[in-house]
Amino acid sequence: MGDAAEKPLGDSYELFLGPAFPGLGNFAVKLRMDGERILSAKADPGYLHRGFEKLMEYRLPIQNAVLSDRICILEALAWNLIHAEAVEELMGVEPPERAKYIRVIMAELSRIQSHIIWYGVLSVGIGFDTGFKLAFGYRDYILDLFEMTTGGRVYPAGYICPGGVRQDLPSGVVKRIPEVLRKMEEMVDLEEVDNPIIPSRLEDVGVLSLEDAIRLGATGPVLRASGMKTDVRKEEPYEVYDRFEFEVPVRQEGDGYARYLVGIEEIKQSIRIVKQALREMPEGDFIAREFRKPKLNVRLPEGEVYVRNEIGRGEAGLYLVSNGGTSPYRVKIRGPSFLHMIPVLEHLLKGAQIADVPAIYWSLNICPADLDR
Amino acid sequence: MTNGIAFKIFNNLVSRPMTVRFPHEAIPIPEGYRGEHEYFIDKCISCGLCAKICPNRAIEMVESPEEIRERYPKTYPEIDLGKCCFCGLCQDICPKDALKLTKNFFLSTFDKNSTIKPPIEVKNGE
C-alpha cells in the first residue's frame, strides 16, 4: 500500500467507473491506476442530484412528506419518519401512542428490506448472483406488506406524515407480519449458510480502522463493524425505541466481512423489535386530530430543529428552519451515505485491487440517492 | 446437507415459490392501492383544493367542454397522470369524496397526450 502511493504517476492511467455503470448505481469514481492497483480514487457525485433541499422550501409540510420518500428509494419509510419527526418537533405536536408503534414497525421493516438489498447487491458485487436473486425475492414479501399498508410497494407517499400515520395498520397486515418475519428468518438462515465465496472475497478487504472510521465520519453499520458500539436508537431514543429490548451488534475487524456480519445481525435484531412492537401495540388513534384531514394553511412556528435517526445505512438527520411561513425556510438533509461514499470510500480504495472495488463499494451499505439527494 | 439442497432446488423448480405466470394469473391488488383516479363530477363542488395540495401540480382546474357547459358551469380538475405521483393527497383533502384512487395500474401508453385525464370524460356517454 505504501509503495503504491509513493510511485510516480508517470506510467499510471485514469479509469472512469460510472456513473452509467450498473455496478455502481448512478455514481462515478475516478480511479488513478497503476496496472491493477489503485493509486488514488476520487468520488464524483452529482449524477443523481434532484435538489430536495431547495424543492422543500416551496412546499407545504404535507407535500414534503410525499417528497421525502424520494430521498432514498430503498428506505423511503425511514426518511418519511425523519421528516415527520422534524415537523412535529417544530410544531410541538405529539403523535398518538398507536401511531408511534406503527411507525416503529414500518421503520424496522424498512430496515430489514434495506439490509436484504444490501446483501443482494453485495453478493452481485462479489460475483455471487444467487444471493442477489434470493434477496430480491425475499424482499418482495415485505413490499407486499407495504403495499397493503401504504398503497404503494416502494413509495409510501408520505405514509408517515406529521401528526401520525396516514392510515391505520390494516388487520390483514397485523396477521400477516409474523408470517413475513418467519420468511425473513429463513432468509437470514440462507445468508448464514456456510458459503465460502463471501468470506474469501470480503475478509481483509477494505479494512477501516476505528480511528479512521471516526476521523472520516462513518456512522451506522460501518462504524459498528470497526468496533464502536453506537446506535441512535439506544443513545437518543426516538418514538418508542426505549421500550424494546434489542442489542447493538459490534465487530472489531473493520473489514468487508465484518460489515456483512453486522448487517445480518441487525436484521435479526429488527425482527425482534417488530415482534415486540406488534405484541405491545395499543389500540387508539393513528393520527393526531388536527392532522386528520390535510390542511393548506398550517403555519410552521418560527424556529429551527435538528432531528437524527438511525436508518439502515447509518445516522440520518434533517435540519429544518422556519420563519413562520407555511413552508420551511431552509432544509438541510444529512444522508449517511455522503460520508461513506466520499471520504470513507476514497480512503478504502487507495491501494486496493481493481477487482475489489465493487466488494468495497457495496460492503459500505450505500445508496447514491441519499448522497446526492 | 447436499441432499437437502438438491431436494430444495428440485422442489423450487416445480413449485415456483415466489412467482406467478403473470398474464394468466396475477397477484391480487390490495384495498387502498394508489392507482388511476376515479372522478365523480356530480359530487364535485369545484373548490380546487385538490389542485392546491397536489405536490407535483398535476391537477389543473379547467372549464367543461362547450356542449355541456350549461350543466357544468364551473371549473373541474383535469389530471395529468404523467405528472402525478399517486400520493393520494387529492383523495384525502376532497371534502365531498369526488376523487378516488382505484386499483388500476395499467397506465403505460405510447401517446403522451393520452396521459391527460379530462374531468368530463367519465360522463361522456350521456
- Are B76 and A88 a contacting pair, CB within 8 Å? no
Distance CA B2, CA A196 (A): 15
Grid coordinates given for A123:
453478493
Distance CA A121, CA A114 (A): 11
pLDDT band at A6 (very low <50, low <70, confident <90, very high): low
Distance CA A42, CA A342 (A): 8
- Are A65 and A53 a contacting pair, CB within 8 Å? no
In sequence order, which residues have a C-beta less than 8 Å from that of residue A89 and are 6 or more positions away? A305, A307
pLDDT digits (tens, 9 = 90+) for B56-101: 888 988 888 777 778 888 888 888 888 888 888 888 888 888 888 8
B17 contact residues in A (CB cutoff 8 A): 137
pLDDT digits (tens, 9 = 90+) for A233-256: 888 888 888 888 888 999 888 888
Best B12, B15, B87 member to test A by mutation, with max A CBs in 10 Å, is B87
pLDDT digits (tens, 9 = 90+) for A124-167: 888 888 888 888 889 999 998 999 888 888 888 888 888 888 88
Judged against a pLDDT cut of 50, whether residue B10 lies above it is answered with yes
Of B29, B55, B93, the CB nearest to A293: B93
For residue A310, give the nearest of A86, A52, A78 by alpha carbon. A78
pLDDT digits (tens, 9 = 90+) for A99-125: 999 999 999 999 999 999 998 888 888
Q: Do B49 and A170 touch (CB under 8 A)?
A: no
Report how many helices (DSSP H) and strands (DSSP E) chain B contains, helices first. 3, 5
A66 contact residues in B (CB cutoff 8 A): 55, 85, 87, 89
Distance CA A14, CA A75 (A): 34
How large is the ipTM? 0.81
At residue A31, φ and ψ (nearest 5 deg) are -110, 130
Mean pLDDT along residues A72-98: 89
Grid coordinates given for A52:
430536495
pLDDT band at B121 (very low <50, low <70, confident <90, very high): low
Distance CA B106, CA B114 (A): 13
B52 contact residues in A (CB cutoff 8 A): 296
Question: Coil, strand or helix: which one is A292?
Answer: coil
The pLDDT mean for chain A works out to 86
Judged against a pLDDT cut of 70, whether residue A313 lies above it is answered with yes
Residues in chain B, overall count:
126
CA–CA min distance B70, chain A (Å): 31
Q: What domains are there in chain A, each with its CATH number?
A: 54-372 (1.10.645.10)
Of A67, A151, A166, the CB nearest to B55: A67
pLDDT digits (tens, 9 = 90+) for A153-163: 888 888 888 88
Distance CA A288, CA A94 (A): 8
Distance CA A95, CA A226 (A): 36
Interface of B with A in 82-111 (CB under 8 A): 85-89, 92-93, 101
User: For residue A5, what pLDDT is reported?
Assistant: 53
For residue A65, give the nearest of A368, A335, A320, A285 by alpha carbon. A320
Distance CA A260, CA A363 (A): 7
pLDDT digits (tens, 9 = 90+) for A180-239: 998 888 888 888 777 788 888 888 888 888 888 899 888 889 899 888 888 888 888 888
- Are A362 and A125 a contacting pair, CB within 8 Å? yes
CA A358-A363-A368 angle, 5° bins:
75
Judge whether A116 is closer than 8 Å to chain B, CB to CB.
no
Mean pLDDT along residues A288-313: 86
Q: Do A66 and B30 touch (CB under 8 A)?
A: no
Q: Do B18 and A155 touch (CB under 8 A)?
A: no
User: For residue A112, what pLDDT is reported?
Assistant: 92
Of A151, A155, A296, the CB nearest to B32: A151
A67 contact residues in B (CB cutoff 8 A): 55
Mean pLDDT along residues A242-271: 89
- Are A59 and A327 a contacting pair, CB within 8 Å? yes
The position carrying cell 459490534 is: A250
Judged against a pLDDT cut of 60, whether residue A13 lies above it is answered with yes
Interface of B with A in 34-53 (CB under 8 A): 34, 49, 52-53
Q: What domains are there in chain B, each with its CATH number?
A: 27-123 (3.30.70.3270)
